[in-house]
Amino acid sequence: TGGTKVTGYREGAWIRITYNGKTAYIAAKHTDTKPVLETLYIQSRTLAVRPAKNSTVLLGTLTRGTKVTGCREGVWIRITYNGKTAYIAAKYTDTKPVLETLYIQSRTLAVRPAKNSTILLGTLTGGTKVTGYREGAWIRITYNGKTAYIAAKYTGDDDIYYKKLIVESSGNIIKPYIDSYGGTLQVYFEELETGYVYTNSNQGLYPACMAKLFIMGTVYEAIEKGDLAMTDYVDNQLELMITVSDNSASNNMVMLLQKTYPHKNVFSLIDEFCAKYGFNDTIIHAYFAYSYYYYSYPSDHVMVTSAKDIGKFLSKVYKGEITSAKASQDMLGRLSRQQFIFKIPYYLPAGVKTANKTGDVGVFSHDGAIIFSPKMDYVLAIMSDSKGGVIGDYTMRNLSLALYNHLQK
């Protein structure tokens, strides 16, 4: 397709290339050494702008109908965004302008015969539905059978539909899974652009390895205060604790915190961290192994959290609100390197980026994930208590896929 980058050798009027592992030829006259600069229009309601291909970092979003110019690089379009190189997913763009359905947001809106004209053809009242094409700061519409223009900033695209779509996800997608589950199923869902939250989380459950999220946060708090250094050892233990859920690494971090603060009960440090960030359902008062660790320091051995606290933790990490923006980004990186992706991420389409942490033991099976989808980023945290962990895993996979598909409409 146009813009595809190829390497090859010129042989007269042909270019010899390798295609699907074999020698092949293309007509030289249809190639050029310069990338093809394309003019494209955003087709989805919103489209994430990333600093690099496959990045999970969000620079911003482009709305449906926005005109962009860029060069195609595989499944990505390289553009300039706020003066810097950035990337958007090519499959949500097209060379054709988007016919948008919009709603007037002001009490009245002037209709002009041309952009920047002072001539008044008429007015549209608030809530009026119009269709048209975005041209910079203007929307080109048909008014009384003729081409006319209205100011784009006083219109809203399909925000009403978009918000309804998100809200519907709780009643139409999530709740049926909760109602039909043969045990306890806690769900926390947050759409990260609008801040819409749905949760039925109203009690604590045994967290299993989800507790490691709050231990990680407490370690980063100590590092931010300058009481603990990010040595190679600490970096390695944090990576093992999160990406492969290593219990020994988690215990080592708890012991290191106790050594760093010898005059405090180590578990009170985690309590302070949870209180600071509003994780009110969470108590982490135990190690992860029945060993000498277990009796090293006073504890009531309580371990409890909720899907709500897990979801809030992931949301705050995404927004850069845990400890610092840098620390949050570092934690997000570890979560995105998670090796256990057999629950919430399992059925999602190939290429969808996630950052998650799982926990399971006995009848308990949990997962919490940030999903970086083409149209929006969101948090989904699920905790389950059932007769078998496999039931919880299966439900998480199906609920996650159903929610993803609903939100991509």
**pLDDT reported for residue 293:** 47
Cα separation, 284 vs 250, whole angstroms? 12
Q: Are 109 and 123 in contact (CB under 8 A)?
A: yes
Q: Return the residue matching tokens 């970092």.
A: 57
Q: How far apart are CA 97 and CA 65, in angstroms?
A: 6
Question: How far is 374 from 407, CA to CA, in rounded Å?
Answer: 10
Distance between CA atoms of residues 379 and 192, nearest Å: 7
**343/394 Cα distance (integer angstroms):** 7
Give the phi and the psi of residue 236 in degrees, each rounded to 5: -65, -45
Find the mean pLDDT for residues 324-332.
Answer: 97
60-63 and 108-111: which strand pairing?
unpaired
Q: What is the C-alpha separation between 226 and 229, in angstroms, rounded?
A: 7
The phi and psi torsions of 22 (rounded to 5 degrees) equal -130, 155
Q: Which residues contact 263 (CB under 8 A, 6 or more apart)?
A: none
How many residues are present in the chain?
A: 409
What is the C-alpha separation between 289 and 148, in angstroms, rounded?
71
Residue 345 contacts residue 356 (beta carbons within 8 Å): yes
| Ranges 15-19, 145-149, 405-409, most confident | 145-149
Q: CB-based contacts of 226: which residues, under 8 Å, 6+ apart?
A: none
Q: What is the pTM of this model?
A: 0.68
* Coil vs helix vs strand at 19: strand
The b-or-e profile of 203-238 (16+ CB within 10 A means b, else e) is ebbbbbbbbbbbbbbbbbbbbeeeebeeeeebeebb
Query: Which two structure tokens, joined as six digits, stand for 328?
Result: 């949050």
- The Cβ of residue 15 has, within 10 Å, a number of other Cβ atoms equal to 19
The answer to whether the CB of 370 falls within 8 A of the CB of 356 is: yes
Percent of the chain whose predicted confidence (pLDDT) is above 90: 69
Residue linked to tokens 């926005």: 66
> Phi/psi zone of residue 257: left (φ > 0), alpha (ψ -120 to 50 degrees), beta?
alpha
Domains and CATH numbers, the chain: 1-34 (no CATH), 99-156 (2.30.30.40), 162-407 (3.40.710.10)
Q: Looking at the predicted structure, is the pLDDT value of residue 296 above 80?
A: no
CA 61/CA 350 separation, integer angstroms:
22
Q: What is the mean pLDDT of residues 301-323?
A: 96
> Does the pLDDT value for residue 88 go beyond 50?
yes
Please say whether the beta carbons of 177 and 398 come within 8 A: yes
Return the minimum-mean-pLDDT range out of 165-179, 231-245, 326-340.
Answer: 165-179
Share of the chain above pLDDT 70, in %: 94
**pLDDT digits over 124-173, tens only?**
987 688 999 988 789 999 999 999 999 998 888 655 656 777 888 888 99
Residue type, 41: Y
Q: Residue 194: its pLDDT value, please?
A: 82
DSSP E strand boundaries for 157-312: 184-191, 197-199, 283-284, 303-304
Helix (H, G, I), strand (E, B) or coil at 52: coil
Using the predicted structure, report yes or no on whether residue 291 has a pLDDT greater than 70: no
Q: How far is CA 10 from CA 19, 311, 344, in A?
A: 15, 56, 49
Q: How far apart are the first and last CA of the chain?
A: 26
Across the chain, what does the average pLDDT equal? 90
Pair 233, 255: CB distance under 8 Å: no
Mean pLDDT computed over 266-273: 95
Tell me 98's DSSP state: P
- The DSSP bridge partners found for residue 373 are none
pLDDT at residue number 158: 55
Give the type of residue at 120: L
* pLDDT tens, residue by residue, 195-214: 899 999 878 999 999 999 99
DSSP 3-state assignment of 14?
strand
